[in-house]
Structure 1
């Protein structure tokens, strides 16, 4: 393409906001609170922009909040001086701005190479988010665009494993998903199917306990 400076100028043409948040698409640890910190730093400092710095203290101009008036001013100056913006490095723009810096080595970690992706996944596992990453990866692989309450399904798997048998956990969650898909339902259909299955697992557990106490068979009737 034409480079990040030209891309930024193109994006600015579609906004009238006083502030613009500029984010690259390879930031696996970026969170909403990081954006709030950037906007707060921008507002409190009076600078033209607020950006993150990485673990080595390097500026990350693609994880930043800027005043759009300052961006437009410097972009116009660059375009006039270089007969356009194509191919210009971002430092030509940021070097002319008054910036305040927000250190955040975690949120500023970006994935430029496959090794970076491997390292990011290792960090995610260390921070206990491997399940969320796995679910997102599976949905992408299967072409599924459906947000469901993961805790509901995990609770169902627990109830089925405890009230019926361990192998019932994955089989039950599969059947719940199949039932919801067969009915062409969304997240609400998944939740309703999970509720019914959880109630059934509870009945089985209660009936099995009663049978053990009465000396009867330990497996409840299917109904």
Structure 2
């Protein structure tokens, strides 16, 4: 997936803490999460890639430290009202038997249309608009930590008032210290994201994230804790497994620990 790209477009960037919050936003009575300003969040997990750099392995089912990548990213469900997984039927067991039935499942048409086509399919599967849409690739072992950081940042924008940058910011995403934007660890205002998909029309298949997000006012969040670290190769699998099993990690929520 073409999600690691250098952010050539000038955009504000702020610094994230080295450790994420110890807990997510409070759960609302409706089962989703509301920010401090009452905003709602939906989650789209993209799980439809080919896994070509993993020898064609089904990436959602690849295990890191005893758990599938998809199950780890789905630890982010508590921060969202609804969760959609865009991926093939073969990926469903990787979500876990108890989790799979509670999810909305979708698949881009045709399959393997890329992340933008996956986002379009995920938005179609969501019946009602939330205020924000959290977008996560399925290969983020620390995706739940990234989700909490992003939701907290979006919540802060909702509370700063109409005359500040929060009024103009249409999305936030993680950015590493080299300037590479992780757009598939991002949170976007739902109306802006839907408008961007509509602008591409039939061109969503094979479109890049840069094409989708062109024209949106985005804020990059400096990811010092590496919550947006992904798994593209078997070497990445080994490195992430060692990090989870050995040295102290950024994980601070028991939902992110091996079960």
For these two proteins, the number of residue pairs brought into alignment is: 131
Structure with the largest fraction of helix:
1
Structure 1 residues 188-207: Cα deviation after superposition (integer angstroms, max 9, x where no partner): xxxxxxxxxxxxxxxxxxxx
Aligned to 2:73: none
**Separation of aligned partners in 2, 1:42 and 1:10:** 27
Structure 1 residues 145-167: Cα deviation after superposition (integer angstroms, max 9, x where no partner): xx6xxxxxxxxxxxxxxxxxxxx
User: Which residues in structure 2 correspond to 1:4-153 (within 5 Å)?
Assistant: 4-15=115-126, 16-30=129-143, 31=145, 33-40=148-155, 42-43=157-158, 44=160, 45-46=166-167, 47-79=169-201, 83-105=202-224, 106-124=226-244, 125-127=246-248, 136=258
Root-mean-square deviation (CA, aligned residues, Å) is 2.5
Aligned to 1:205: none
Structure 1 residues 81-133: Cα deviation after superposition (integer angstroms, max 9, x where no partner): xx43111111101222110111114101111111111111222211168xx9x
Distance 1:11 1:122, change over 3 A: same
Q: CA deviation at 1:40?
A: 2.7
Q: State the structure with bigger RCO (CA 8 A, min sep 6), 1 or 2.
A: 2
Contact 1:41 / 1:50 at 8 angstroms: preserved in 2? no
TM-score, length-scaled by structure 1: 0.52
Contact 1:41 / 1:100 at 8 angstroms: preserved in 2? no
**Separation of aligned partners in 2, 1:71 and 1:84:** 15
Structure with the largest fraction of strand:
2
Contact 1:51 / 1:102 at 8 angstroms: preserved in 2? yes
**Separation of aligned partners in 2, 1:40 and 1:126:** 31
TM-score, length-scaled by structure 2: 0.46
3-state DSSP of counterpart to 1:126: coil
Structure 2 unaligned runs (5+)?
1-111, 161-165
4+ residue stretches of structure 1 with deviation over 6 A?
A: none
